[in-house]
Amino acid sequence: MKNISFPRTALISASALLAGIILLCSCSQITKNTGRNTSGGEKQNGAETAAVTTTEVTTSAATTATDDTQPYVDGDNTQIYIPDSTPYKKITLDGVKDHHFIADDFCYIESEKCFIFLDKDIDLPGDFVVNVEAIITEIENQLGISSCPDSYNYCPLSDNSSYYGGINPWKGWHTGNKIPIFLMVDRKSEGLISCALSDETIFVIYELFSEDFWNSVPDYKNNPWRRMDAVDYGTIAHELTHTITGRNCDLTDILTEGIAEYTSRTVIDALADNYPSIGEYNAQRFLYDFGVPESVNADNAERIFIEDYNQLSHVERGAQYDYGRCLFNYLNNEYGADYFSRLNSYINGNGLHYSYGNYDEALVTDYATALKELFGDDIFTKFGDWCVKNNQLQYY
């Protein structure tokens, strides 16, 4: 186990929880699923600094550009549109883990299920895209849902110029039904964190900052513990789960963070043996429990689910992650691998649209009813008993 800073983890988690509430979907179009803005960013587990090699990988000019006089076509929300005038290169990685591509300008990668937009000073290992694609596919397989459902209304890229010092390199772009993934550098060490919407995922991952950049910022250089010597694929899996589930259905806060936290663990477990870099991360990751303010048992499990920890301040809502993770762990164990696809179908079939971060007791009660109808009226009492028996959610 590498050195982990508890205060750092707690601080990042707290700010992530807060930021998760603030972020809003930038899509200006009417969407089919309202209030679907899942978000949350989360832990950057600090560890010892990495030794980074700097072997250049390949670059090539953009090849999928279309005429930039052709506007985004209304009515076809899966059409890819790349302005012909873009000065930014399309790059490809060679898949070799020990090769690195360091971005000296904005650039992008197009792969099967996503577009990856690189900020300047991002350092990508050659197997990064292979790993991200594997994570997306594993999330789809485990949850029984698609990362690009037909029911979702795909929007042009949102304006993330606040990350880029006021400019928007990707103005007018549309990635079709592929997930836009933004790899950002926190240039002034302002505490920017990874987060996700149903439209896109934004990663601020220290392990992907180039070595030269890292050493040029005293706050980073003097605190090497802030990054591991493995890419944080756990956060990547967590945030991508938000985007993928958010494209399929709306969930309460507990369910939103719970499925992301649970799936990030099971996905990493499933891929670690076959993807060396994910395996390296798996060997170093620190599985953090935030703690809950009240031990969960058969008598209070349903009440706590319905309260959704809304009475806690944002910085204390790590309890949502823990309760939700344990609940999905229980559902998967006790009710079969289709636990999430069944819930997804029920939510859409019954028109449930919860808005993350906006507590609504009547609506969250409908989600409790969904769980009862799907898994039995005694789902919460049985879950509470399971928590006590397995010593889960028993800590303050």
- Beta strand 100-102 with 59-60: parallel, antiparallel or unpaired? unpaired
Residue from 157, 260, 327, 371 binding Zn ion (CB under 5 A): 260
Q: How far apart are CA 162 and CA 170, in angstroms?
A: 13
Quick one: which segment of 32-40, 132-140, 177-185, 372-380 binds Zn ion (CB under 5 A)? 32-40
Based on CB atoms, which residue is closest to Zn ion, 126 or 318?
318
Q: Which is nearer to Zn ion, 123 or 261 (CB)?
A: 261
CA neighbours closer than 13 Å in the CB half-sphere of residue 232: 29
Q: Which range of residues in 126-134, 137-145, 256-264, 310-318 is near Zn ion by CB under 5 A?
A: 256-264
Choose between 19 and 57: whose C-beta lies nearer to Zn ion. 19
In this complex, which beta carbon is closest to Zn ion, that of residue 45 or of residue 210? 45
**CA dist., res. 280 & res. 297, Å (int):** 36
CB of 69 vs Zn ion, minimal distance in Å: 40
User: Which range, of 37-45, 132-140, 197-205, 300-308, touches Zn ion by CB under 5 A?
Assistant: 37-45
* x/- track of binding to Zn ion for residues 134-173 (CB under 5 A): ----------------------------------------
Q: Please answer whether residues 189 and 217 qualify as being in contact, where contact means their C-beta atoms are separated by less than 8 angstroms.
A: yes
- The span from the CA of 126 to the CA of 55, in Å, is 9
The Cα–Cα gap between 386 and 263 comes to 19
Whole-angstrom distance, CA of residue 194 vs CA of residue 204? 5
Helix (H) or strand (E) holding 387: helix 379-389
From the CB of 169, what's the least distance to Zn ion, in Å?
Answer: 26
Using CB under 5 A as the binding rule, the residues of this chain from 40 to 59 that contact Zn ion are 40
Residue 213 or 359 with smaller CB distance to Zn ion: 359
251 binds Zn ion (CB under 5 A): no
Contacts (Cβ under 8 Å, ≥6 apart) of 321: 42, 257, 258, 261, 290
CB of 64 to Zn ion, least distance (A): 31
**Shortest distance in whole angstroms from residue 198 CB to Zn ion:** 13
Minimum distance of Zn ion from residue 260's CB (angstroms): 4
Please spell the DSSP secondary structure of 285-306, one letter per residue.
--------SS---TTTHHHHHH
Residues at the contact surface with Zn ion, assessed by CB under 5 A: 40, 257, 260
